[in-house]
Chains A and B, each alone.
Chain A
Amino acid sequence: MNWAFELLGLAPDADVASVKRAYARLLRTTRPDEDPEAFQRLHAAYKMVLAHVNTRPAATAHPIATQAALAQNSEAVQVQSPSPQPMPAQANIVTMAVSAINFDALTNEIIRAATEASNGQVLSNWLHAREEFWSIQVKQQSGHRVLQRLFQQPKTISADCMDALLHFFDLDHVLSGIEPVALKNLRERQTTLWELLPSNHRVLAQRIGKQYGKYPELGILQKNIALLQSPFSWLRACVVAASVGRVRGIAHLVQALLGHGNFQQLPPSIDRQHALFWFRAATRGPMTWPRFALRSFQMGLAAFGVALAVTAIYFLRLFFPVDASAPGRIDLSATTKAFAISWSATFGFWLLFAGSVWFDQWQGLPESVPSRWPWLRRLAIPMACISCLVVQETGAVPYVEWLIALCFIFAIRRSRRRGTIKNDFFARISDSKPGFIWVGVMVLSAFSRMHDLSDFPFIPLLAALTLGISIADLWRHRAYLHPKLARS
């Protein structure tokens, strides 16, 4: 502050007129087109001093007096015209005192108009026709109030109307002081609210279709919305899961409603727990409990279908026997057995698959994610590999080599998921095509070894590689193992 007064050569109690005089005097020696840098300094000092002088508490008596004088002036219309032709004085001049306006009522009215307008043009016309907004101050104040109110409580306003509103009040430019991300978020939330009105479901369907490349049927979409608006129940979820494609449709709906926001920002009519369940159940990515439960239910149904088919074939064999001389007899226990075996085999495959997906995720978590048994997570693969080797040596369990090959694949995946540098050695071999072929050859060779097709000791080699990869991975994350290692 002091530097500015010094630059202008003024005492700190200077008044506005002397500040301007000093600035004008100094400007003659530092012209903007001759010495830009000195001019910038001078101008910055001038603006700072002027702002300071204008807001100084000692000067308060003066501005109030001038404001009163100005207010009086604004009521009387000055007619000055140097041109010979008289000015059209019939113009209806609005000199509405800002204090006379009830801004709360006006704000409510604007918001109501915005929610009721069928499109942006209608709203824009309505706003333009209002007399109040010819006063620049009223317009400015009410614009900010409307936006403040909307930030507190989003309303059902379409994107089109929101744009018209922002444009009219000139709030959509970069210097308006409104956080653009927050504004975008607000617009998104309001659009969602608006789309959930029954008459606008078609627009929502179009948006989903554009976003995901698959236009949902309007009836199904409405059913899905109704589902999300009711509280969650497992029974209903199972019924929905039984119909083909509906889970995906609901997931798209939830994602479209969420936009870039979080679950707290979902429209209040939507049940959040319910939306969260479907979001977790159908989005790609890590295996979640809702997804496991739903998929298990679906798989159970599918397995039931498979079992039915197997049983049907069994019956067909009975009625149309290959060997006509030995007519079959309906054996109830054998039928039940065939049904049970085929059902559990199909379902078992699903459980195995889900289990391996879960295991893959669990062991691939980065070290920074806390775990109850961190050492179990670190050593699960090497331990499994070693125990498989031991079991193989004893020869007690057949096909244990398969598990070693599996361990090898898991080890590679783990090391890749946990790598922070994306172009290290492991990433390169597991990303590139030669890497895939290489891993494939290793695993296939292991299988051929199992079936005694080759003499090369693939299984011990695979086990050694698995252990090596695991140790390398541990070494890479040594900082987490012990503080002493972190320093090296």
Chain B
Amino acid sequence: MIVGIDLGTTHSLIGYYGEQGPQLFRNALGDYLTPSVVSVDEAGHILVGAAARDRLISHPNSSVAAFKRWMGTAREVQLGQRSFRPEELSALVLRSLLADAEAALGEKVQEAVISVPAYFSDAQRKATRAAGELAGIKVERLINEPTAAALAYGLQERREGSRFLVFDLGGGTFDVSVLEMFEGVVEVHASAGDNYLGGEDFLDVLETACVGDLKLRTDDFSPVERGLLRRRLELAKRSLSQQPEVSVTGLIGKHDIQWRVDQDRFLHLAEPLLQRMRMPLERALRDARLRPEQLDEIVLVGGASRMPLVSRLIARMFGKLPLRHVSPDEAIALGACVAAGLKSRNAKLEEVILTDVCPYTLGVEIGQRNTQGQVQNGLFSPIIERNSVVPISRESSYWPMTERQARLSLKIYQGENPMVENNIKLGELEIALNPTLSIAANEVVVRFTYDINGVLQVEATPKANGLRHELLLQQNPGMLSEEEIHARLAALSELKIHPRAKQENLALLARAERLFEEYLSARQVLQQWIGHFRQVLESQDERLIQEHRKTFSDALDSLETQL
């Protein structure tokens, strides 16, 4: 069984391709969306999901969120006794998702298709694969998020011969893809994006404005208070999608917050972020060689695309209003399920074929002699141009700069800037030349092969001797080696994770603790309730616990609506 997973910045989902098409699995709390948050409790047990998200407020030092943004870096975060890499945190979320899937399917899940932002780099993709391995599954394929969304949307609508643009604004990443569907072929024409632009940035903008208006600084808030403030602002951001004006009021720590924000103000604050969205949109369209009016539809997916200013941006740029996917949060996961179905050769999907593109330009550093004979070094010579259909293999010839040159060092870069210093270096290859030959005879043929999963292979062959050199990609600090993955896999399996059956109780407790931090007036009542519930839990009487859980959860619901 292959499952489809959407490993998001704020939420993650899991599903599979079943009899009735793509289907998502509910988690222990009955939701499709599992927050991508990890927390460690006092006993050293790991919590994932809604409980961890509530603990983000009450225990900010032992909880972590939005770690997808650090994928591909060596950044580690300390939780309780142990420090975690982003791959490990993602692996914990994956394990929790897999437990949900296994509970629903009643069988062990071994393989998965995971969605990644189209604009994820080589290192970030490798980190995602490593996360899968750490969670104990084989990652069959990484699918680009907008492509997944398009698969879900296209198969649902079954429109023939249409071109559309998928605009995916998630919690932390922004992706654009231009696609075409015809005769059961889903062809991606172009992808572009920004890996550090998402709903979280809009929240940051609101936070800066709020704190600035109140003549405070972010340092004036303790971590707990800051978490509370961000939660209030997050709610305010969501209500701004429906109301013209919202106010944020309440006592946070010793600060009395009274702040009003309307849609126009928010639009003004978010202006720089909107400007950053313009370029990927324009670039994707230009690379697809399409005019705006040639697009049949513009589809919005991702939770953050609910903001009205996003549809306004689209309308201004394309002269037409976008279509919002029925369930913007689930579209990508549904698409990942379709991709999983394609991978397992589901009979119903036999007629669908997907072709994707590589989002970056890949090439090598070259020098060039100008008309005055001066040498200009550090130029980027592309071999595989961005938005070429994958798998692809391209070759290009290079010659030494000077007569009697003995070595040629081939530096491989990924990026869009004409000067290599602004691009990302992937690796280096040293090639020995024959210095007795002329410059023309010392031709070196460089072949780049980029496969369907975004893995690059470089081969260089000097024509004179035909000796093939292959690139060993340089291990950059953000990547785990094979041995490290095994060591960390062993270490992770030693961690104590709460059993799935207990999740509901834990989530309830975490929620009560979060409310305790949030509302000063109700502290005494909450403390009593929490104490009582803990006592009931210790009795280990399943029937009693279930009864109590119901009343406790209802009491919390009514408390939250009152306040």
Residues of A bordering B, CB below 8 Å: 17, 20-21, 23-25, 27-28, 31-33, 36-37, 39-40, 43, 70-71, 73-74, 77-83, 85, 87-89, 91-95, 128, 134-137, 139-140, 170, 172-175, 180-181, 183-184, 260, 262
Bound state CA distance, A233 and B318, in angstroms? 62
Q: Which residue of B lies closest to A30 (CB)?
A: B353
- Residue B372 interfacial (CB < 8 Å): yes
User: Judging by beta carbons under 8 Å apart, are B379 and A82 in contact?
Assistant: no
The one of B291, B363, B390 that contacts A32, using a Cβ cutoff of 8 Å: B390
User: Judging by beta carbons under 8 Å apart, are A40 and B291 in contact?
Assistant: no
Smallest distance from the beta carbon of B523 to chain A beta carbons, Å?
Answer: 37
Smallest distance from the beta carbon of A281 to chain B beta carbons, Å?
Answer: 20
Smallest distance from the beta carbon of B294 to chain A beta carbons, Å?
Answer: 7
Q: Which residue of B lies closest to A422 (CB)?
A: B404
User: Judging by beta carbons under 8 Å apart, are A71 and B321 in contact?
Assistant: no
Chain A residues contacting B317 (CB-CB under 8 Å) are 134-136
Which chain B residues in 375-406 approach chain A with CB under 8 Å?
376, 379-380, 382, 385-386, 389-393
Which chain B residues in 340-386 approach chain A with CB under 8 Å?
351, 353-355, 361, 363, 368, 370, 372, 374, 376, 379-380, 382, 385-386
Bound state CA distance, A173 and B285, in angstroms? 15
User: Judging by beta carbons under 8 Å apart, are A175 and B312 in contact?
Assistant: no
Chain A residues contacting B281 (CB-CB under 8 Å) are 136
User: Judging by beta carbons under 8 Å apart, are B312 and A88 in contact?
Assistant: yes
Smallest distance from the beta carbon of A175 to chain B beta carbons, Å?
Answer: 6
Chain A residues contacting B315 (CB-CB under 8 Å) are 77, 91, 93
Q: A82-B324, A82-B326, A181-B376 are in contact. Are A32 and B386 (CB under 8 A)?
A: no
The 9 tightest CB contacts between A and B, nearest first, are A24-B183, A180-B418, A36-B391, A173-B416, A91-B312, A91-B315, A95-B319, A74-B293, A70-B293
Q: A27-B185, A27-B353, A136-B285 are in contact. Are A173 and B319 (CB under 8 A)?
A: no
The one of B184, B311, B385, B418 that contacts A88, using a Cβ cutoff of 8 Å: B311
User: Judging by beta carbons under 8 Å apart, are B379 and A180 in contact?
Assistant: yes
Bound state CA distance, A13 and B284, in angstroms? 31
How many cross-chain pairs have Cβ atoms below 8 Å apart between A and B? 144
Which chain B residues in 298-321 approach chain A with CB under 8 Å?
308, 311-312, 315-321
- Residue B490 interfacial (CB < 8 Å): no
User: Judging by beta carbons under 8 Å apart, are B416 and A77 in contact?
Assistant: no
Bound state CA distance, A140 and B185, in angstroms? 30
Bound state CA distance, A94 and B292, in angstroms? 12
Chain A residues contacting B184 (CB-CB under 8 Å) are 24
Smallest distance from the beta carbon of B241 to chain A beta carbons, Å?
Answer: 9
Smallest distance from the beta carbon of B453 to chain A beta carbons, Å?
Answer: 9
User: Judging by beta carbons under 8 Å apart, are A137 and B291 in contact?
Assistant: yes
Q: A74-B320, A128-B275, A175-B382 are in contact. Are A32 and B393 (CB under 8 A)?
A: no
User: Judging by beta carbons under 8 Å apart, are B293 and A71 in contact?
Assistant: yes
Q: A74-B293, A128-B275 are in contact. Are A31 and B321 (CB under 8 A)?
A: no
Bound state CA distance, A170 and B293, in angstroms? 21
The one of B279, B293, B353, B363 that contacts A28, using a Cβ cutoff of 8 Å: B353
User: Judging by beta carbons under 8 Å apart, are B417 and A173 in contact?
Assistant: yes
User: Judging by beta carbons under 8 Å apart, are B321 and A181 in contact?
Assistant: no
Chain A residues contacting B417 (CB-CB under 8 Å) are 172-174
- Residue B270 interfacial (CB < 8 Å): no
User: Judging by beta carbons under 8 Å apart, are A83 and B326 in contact?
Assistant: yes
Bound state CA distance, A135 and B278, in angstroms? 11
User: Judging by beta carbons under 8 Å apart, are A94 and B319 in contact?
Assistant: yes
Complex A-B: 7 CB contacts under 8 Å: A32-B389, A70-B293, A82-B326, A91-B312, A136-B318, A174-B380, A262-B372
User: Judging by beta carbons under 8 Å apart, are A94 and B316 in contact?
Assistant: yes
Chain A residues contacting B386 (CB-CB under 8 Å) are 175
Chain B residues contacting A137 (CB-CB under 8 Å) are 291-292
